[in-house]
A and B are shown apart, each in its own frame.
Chain A
């Protein structure tokens, strides 16, 4: 019984909030503030992808995405207050572009960090293998030298003067 009442109350609360939001749309300024925060977060994620080891091509894609957001923002700033339809269209386009750049940055970060880890493991393993190989070569060179020296000693002739 109590859970039913609680569920009804929460549904009613959500409806009231929705109606209030519809009656008082969020002003463009606060929307741009939200976008500013979103942009800041996306920049942070792109930089994380770069420090994880994203290559120039991958970074190029992300940078192109971010610059397209700047173009959209420029278009938005040039609109008159009368173009509210176009404004909301551009705002949603900016939000979706930022979201797709962010998702791509996350994906690139995962791939790049895996690649960097593999490269590190491979490089350190190569170092260990090179050390082993150099030791073996050194050992056999010494062995060969000793054998040659023994051969030379065995071939020596004693000549009486």
Chain B
């Protein structure tokens, strides 16, 4: 009896040390360290590569010429996200989103694509577009109608270009995320203590004739 008690007394510190070790391991396994929260946001060409964005490798796009891209967003935020991709049409002078002030571009929004994305899932949006109609008044050219997918968009307050040969248009793609607190989309998301934004742009020149 006395011997058993002595053995128990000797084994108890060992058991307690092992218990603390194993329970710590269990806690670490069940509560992994918070990882960086971010989105992967990219544009691919029709053949799925990060290049050859334009037909015949020329950014000079004719009216009615179809250009096919794929926009893709991968959610690495650690939870389901409700996202909104805002497509803006800009010229050279309109401002792009500001990475310091985290403000969006001043260019008008042409189209929006909304989707719920699960964590670690990628959403790919076919972005086939063509300029249907543009006008030139007093030397300034303006795109009047755009077709994206099967939908025709009439561009209101569209930017102008002074000369089609030297002035470029661009699509700015902004990633907006749903803010639960304010129940609206926000341009920047929180990654720990810092806010981040994601946006892309692709330039093109408009040409009325054969490029």
A interface, CB within 8 angstroms of B: 36-37, 40, 43-44, 46-47, 50-51, 56, 59-60, 62-63, 66-67, 70, 119-120, 123-124, 126-128, 130-132, 134-135, 138-139
Option from B18, B23, B116 in Cβ contact (under 8 Å) with A135: B18
Report yes or no: B115 in contact with A127, Cβ–Cβ below 8 A: no
Report yes or no: B15 in contact with A127, Cβ–Cβ below 8 A: no
Option from A44, A50, A124, A139 in Cβ contact (under 8 Å) with B11: A139
Does any Cβ of A come within 8 Å of B1's Cβ? no
Q: Which residues of B contact A66 (CB under 8 A)?
A: 82, 116
- Closest residue to B25 on the A side, CB-wise? A127
State the Cβ distance, B50 to closest chain A Cβ, in Å.
Answer: 27
Q: Which residues of B contact A60 (CB under 8 A)?
A: 118
Report yes or no: B22 in contact with A44, Cβ–Cβ below 8 A: no
Report yes or no: B80 in contact with A50, Cβ–Cβ below 8 A: yes
Query: Could you list 23 examples of A-B contacts with CB < 8 Å?
Result: A36-B183, A37-B183, A46-B80, A47-B79, A50-B80, A59-B119, A62-B80, A63-B117, A66-B82, A66-B116, A67-B115, A70-B115, A120-B30, A123-B29, A124-B23, A124-B26, A127-B19, A127-B22, A127-B23, A131-B18, A131-B22, A134-B22, A135-B11
Q: Which residues of A contact B21 (CB under 8 A)?
A: 131
B88-121: which residues lie under 8 A (CB-CB) from chain A? 114-119
State the Cβ distance, B70 to closest chain A Cβ, in Å.
Answer: 18
What is the bound-complex CA distance between A108 and B22, given in angstroms? 31
What is the bound-complex CA distance between A36 and B22, given in angstroms? 48
B interface, CB within 8 angstroms of A: 7, 11, 14-15, 18-19, 21-23, 25-26, 29-30, 79-80, 82, 114-119, 178, 180, 183
Q: A37-B183, A40-B183, A70-B116 are in contact. Are A132 and B80 (CB under 8 A)?
A: no
Option from B7, B23, B25, B82 in Cβ contact (under 8 Å) with A139: B7
Q: Which residues of A contact B22 (CB under 8 A)?
A: 127-128, 130-131, 134
Option from A63, A127, A132 in Cβ contact (under 8 Å) with B118: A63
Report yes or no: B15 in contact with A47, Cβ–Cβ below 8 A: no
- Closest residue to B79 on the A side, CB-wise? A50
What is the bound-complex CA distance between A47 and B82, given in angstroms? 11
State the Cβ distance, B183 to closest chain A Cβ, in Å.
Answer: 4
What is the bound-complex CA distance between A130 and B89, given in angstroms? 63
